[in-house]
Every structure is written in C-alpha cells, then in structure tokens.
C-alpha cells in the first residue's frame, strides 16, 4: 500500500489541530429483495485510506503525535465463506499503516473514549441521517461521564471544508490514475464510434462502451452513460438509451469510466452514418471553436470563470451569425439570450466524483485555477424545434467534452485527446 494515504491523514491531522476526525465509508444499498446495488466506497473515506470494504470508519486524531485508527469488519471464516475476503484489523494495521485498528463491532464502546477531552469532532454533518444519530449517541455517552471529570467535544465541524480543498488539488498518484481512466474512456468512445451504424439501437452502442470499460479494468462507469441519437441529444440528462439510430442524425455520447475511484468524463457527437450534413457541420464547428477558446483560457492564474466566458462569447457570436440569436454580441451576452441554446456551464471539477468537490468561489469571487486542478471543458449547443428557429437546425444537439489538468507552467494538459473531435478526423475514423 503506497504512502499517499498516510500523507493525506497526516495533512488532515495537522488541519484539525486538537480535534478528532471521524469519517465513515458508504453503506451497502439494497436494490430489491436480497439483491444489492454494486458496492462503491465513499470518496472521502477512500481518499484517506485506500480501503475499499464496507462497514468501515476512519478516525484521525490531531495533535502531537497524531494518530489514525481504522474500524473495519473482523475476520470471520463463516462470513468470508459467504461474502468473500476481509482484511480484518490486523492487516489494516500492517498493510494500510494505521496506528491502530479495531473490529467495527467495538466502535460504540471505543469511539466515546476516543473523543474524550477533545474540543471538536470533525465529520460529515447532515450527510446521512443514521450517521448523524451515531455521532449524537457517542457524544451523549461521553457527556454522561462528566462527573468523572471527562469533557465531551463542545463543537461539531463539517470535515468536508478541509477535505474538499485537499481533494481539489490532485497529487501525482491521482493524476496518473486519472490519465489512465481518461485513456480507457477515449478508447471506448472510438470503439462506440466505429460500431455505430443507422438501424442500431442506442443501447447497442452503450454496450460497446461498457464492454471496453470493464475489459480494461474499470470497476464502474463514472455515471450513467448518455447515448442520445437525434433529438434525444437536446435532453441534457437523457439516459433511456433505447431509441433506434437514424440515418442523417447525430449521435451524442457522454460516457466515462471510473478507475480505482477516479472518474473520467468525455462527450463526443458524430453522425450516425459517418458524414456530417451542412447544418450539422455549421453547429459542430461552432461548438468546437468554443471549446478551443475555453481550452486556451484554461491556465493557472486565470479565473475559474475564464473558460466559460471564452466559450460563451464564441457561441453567442456564432448564434448571431447563424441567425439563431439577433442583435449585437453585447446585447446577446448581457441579456444572456444564448441560454436558449447553451444552458449549462462549460465545466466542473473532476476527480473521485464526476462532479467533484471543491468550491468554485472564494470570498465571493470566482477562484483562480491552480496547478493540479482537474476540470472538464464541455461547451454545447442544443436546438429544439420552434417556429422562430431556422428549420435546418431543428433537433441538433452537440456537446464536445474533454478533461483537463491545469499545468504547473501554463496552459492545460488534455487527457482525453485520444478520441477524435475534428470533423475530418471523425469522418476518417468512421469511414475506415
Ligand atoms: N457527464 C456529466 C457531465 O458531463 O457533467
Ligand atoms: Mn459528461
Ligand atoms: Mn462533465
């Protein structure tokens, strides 16, 4: 087990000073009788531990020296026969470098002792009702010992304030995993593109993506894939993926795999029959220009808002040129008339969660981009049918999305560039 997890726990210990942090992993969720949803650990918990079993809690005690403790499932020959391998507390200590580890069954006895005489508990507040109840019961248990001279923590602080900032800047290990996740997703998009023909169903193309993800070691898709032919692409969160693909339509695919707890997030839009029509080309080139402008603006020291402003400006001018909006660029921007066709933001943080944690503003201002931040760059254009819109553009929905790492010197590294996005390259790939 590599040491980045112990480094992160140490960083948290320093941040919480004389407090104690208590962070549970995710609970298993029932899908329907006797069947569970695939288990996925909690992102914060895994960031600090690298431990992927359910029913686990990590405790980090600040001060000098700091300590980190894991509660996890006890070894059990019987349970391991039914449900599979468990590390158990002993391996948690030796392999995961915890100062101490206990069986999760002991937590109600041990936790109230660990929080004795600490000033603050750092945990996720209001995230999970059952967890809030547990914290309260441990606090009350400690409070009940006041006559013995034992003090219970007087304050509860949301630990996510600290962890979100830590998670926002990715370290070298994280970036390596994210590059690998992006590579697998890029290959999957190529596979989906080459498998697409008129008459296939959206779910058949989705199957190509999922096959490639799994075949290459991804544990899950990072989110439900969007495979949206024709007008379905104008529904931003379309996930039915059950329509037939028509000759002459575009296909928008927004899909990315999760690898070892890290997401990737790619969108490509291409013609079902391999050739863009004139109106499709016009909108596609516009969105691609907007993406180029946003990528150009993605550099350390620039505001988080800069890529969005750059993309929006290009799109707004394009909408005017194509007679989708009317009047001056200033007016279309000021009255936000572009929202009719471009109603979402140009990106989001990317990391363990596809919409990753981290504030976008600091002291009321958009924060600046810093090296090690990872974000998506995903302008789009979605044109529904309406009498006031030129008919040639009806039902065209296009988004182009890549994942970018803010570099140390300047500019950004696009980690999803393995999948083609110029008209020429897409048509070449699809004709092969
Ligand atoms: N796939 C989710 C998003 O692009 O934000
Ligand atoms: Mn996406
Ligand atoms: Mn995205």
CA angle 48–54–58, rounded 5-degree value: 35
Do the Cβ atoms of 251 and 272 come closer than 8 Å? yes
Ligand 1 centre to CA of 107 (Å) is: 38
Q: Please give, one letter per residue, the 3-state secondary structure of 30-65.
A: EEECCEECCCCCCHHHHHHHCCCCCCCEEEEECCCC
- Measured on CA atoms in the order 29, 127, 349, 261, is the torsion positive or negative? negative
Q: Which of the residues are catalytic?
A: 34, 237, 254, 265, 344, 348, 355, 378, 382, 399, 401
Ligand 1 centre to CA of 254 (Å) is: 7
| Residue 164, beta-bridge partner list | none
- In this predicted structure, what is the pLDDT of residue 1? 56
Phi and psi angles of residue 377, each rounded to the nearest 5 degrees, phi first: -130, 105
- In this predicted structure, what is the pLDDT of residue 2? 64
> How does DSSP assign 394-430, residue by residue?
TTEEEE-BEEEEE-SSSSEEETTTTS--SHHHHHHHH
CA 343 to chain centre: 20
- Measured on CA atoms in the order 290, 295, 300, 304, is the torsion positive or negative? positive
Q: How far apart are CA 232 and CA 236, in angstroms?
A: 8
Task: Point out the ligand 1 atom lying closest to the alpha carbon of residue 378.
Answer: 4
Query: Which residue from 185, 233, 255, 265 has its CB within 8 A of the most atoms of ligand 1, so it is best to mutate?
Result: 265
Do the Cβ atoms of 315 and 293 come closer than 8 Å? no
* Ligand that comes closest to the CA of residue 224: 1
* Ligand that comes closest to the CA of residue 223: 1
* Ligand that comes closest to the CA of residue 239: 1
Task: Point out the ligand 1 atom lying closest to the alpha carbon of residue 222.
Answer: 1
- In this predicted structure, what is the pLDDT of residue 432? 87
In the chain, the domains with their CATH numbers are: 4-167 (3.40.350.10), 169-431 (3.90.230.10)
98: Cβ–Cβ under 8 A, 6 or more apart, which residues? Answer: 68, 69, 70, 92
Atom 5 of ligand 1, nearest CA residue: 355
CA angle 227–233–239, rounded 5-degree value: 45
Q: Taking CB atoms and a 6 Å cutoff, what residues make up the pocket around ligand 1?
A: 223, 254, 265, 348, 354, 378, 401
Query: Which residue from 237, 267, 377, 400 has its CB within 8 A of the most atoms of ligand 1, so it is best to mutate?
Result: 267
First to last CA, the chain: 44
- In this predicted structure, what is the pLDDT of residue 64? 87
CA atoms within 13 A on the CB side of 102: 14
DSSP secondary structure letter of residue 303:
B
- In this predicted structure, what is the pLDDT of residue 314? 98
Residues of the chain with pLDDT under 50: none
Q: How far apart are CA 167 and CA 351, in angstroms?
A: 8
78: Cβ–Cβ under 8 A, 6 or more apart, which residues? Answer: none
């Amino acid at each position: 087990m590599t040491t980045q997890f112990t480094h992160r726990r140490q960083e948290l210990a320093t941040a919480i000073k004389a407090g104690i942090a208590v962070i549970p992993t995710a609970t298993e969720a029932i899908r329907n009788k006797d069947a569970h949803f695939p288990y996925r650990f909690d992102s914060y918990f895994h960031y600090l531990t690298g431990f992927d079993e359910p029913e686990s809690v990590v405790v980090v005690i600040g001060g000098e020296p700091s300590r980190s403790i894991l509660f996890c499932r006890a070894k059990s020959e019987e349970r391991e026969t039914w449900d599979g391998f468990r590390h158990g507390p002993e391996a948690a200590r030796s392999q995961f470098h915890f100062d101490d580890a206990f069986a999760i069954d002991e937590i109600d006895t041990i936790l109230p002792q660990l929080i004795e005489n600490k000033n603050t508990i750092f945990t996720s507040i209001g995230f999970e009702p059952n967890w809030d109840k547990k914290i309260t019961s441990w606090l009350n248990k400690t409070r009940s010992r006041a006559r013995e001279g034992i003090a219970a923590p007087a304050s509860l602080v949301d630990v996510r304030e600290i962890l979100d900032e830590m998670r926002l800047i990715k370290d070298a290990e994280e970036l390596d995993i994210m590059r690998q996740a992006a590579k697998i997703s890029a290959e999957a998009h190529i596979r989906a593109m080459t498998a697409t023909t008129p008459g296939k169903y959206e779910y058949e193309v989705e199957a190509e993506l999922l096959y490639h993800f799994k075949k290459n070691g991804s544990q899950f898709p990072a989110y439900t894939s969007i495979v949206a032919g024709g007008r379905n692409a104008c529904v931003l969160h379309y996930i039915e993926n059950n329509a037939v693909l028509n000759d002459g339509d575009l296909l928008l695919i927004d899909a990315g795999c999760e690898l070892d707890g890290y997401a990737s997030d790619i969108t490509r839009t291409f013609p079902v029959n391999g050739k863009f029509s004139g109106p499709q080309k016009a909108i596609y080139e516009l969105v691609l220009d907007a993406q180029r402008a946003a990528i150009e603006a993605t550099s350390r020291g620039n505001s988080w808002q800069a890529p969005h402003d750059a993309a929006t400006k290009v799109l707004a001018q394009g909408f005017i040129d194509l007679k989708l909006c009317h009047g001056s660029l200033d007016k279309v921007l000021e009255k936000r008339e572009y929202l009719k066709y471009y109603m979402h933001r140009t990106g989001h943080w990317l990391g363990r969660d596809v919409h990753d944690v981290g504030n976008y503003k600091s002291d009321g201002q958009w924060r600046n981009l810093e090296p090690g931040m990872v974000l998506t760059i995903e302008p789009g254009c979605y044109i529904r049918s309406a009498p006031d819109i030129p008919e040639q553009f009806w039902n065209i929905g296009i988004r182009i999305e890549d994942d970018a790492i803010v570099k140390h010197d300047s500019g950004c590294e696009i980690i999803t560039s393995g999948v083609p996005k110029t008209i020429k390259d897409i048509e070449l790939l699809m004709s092969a």
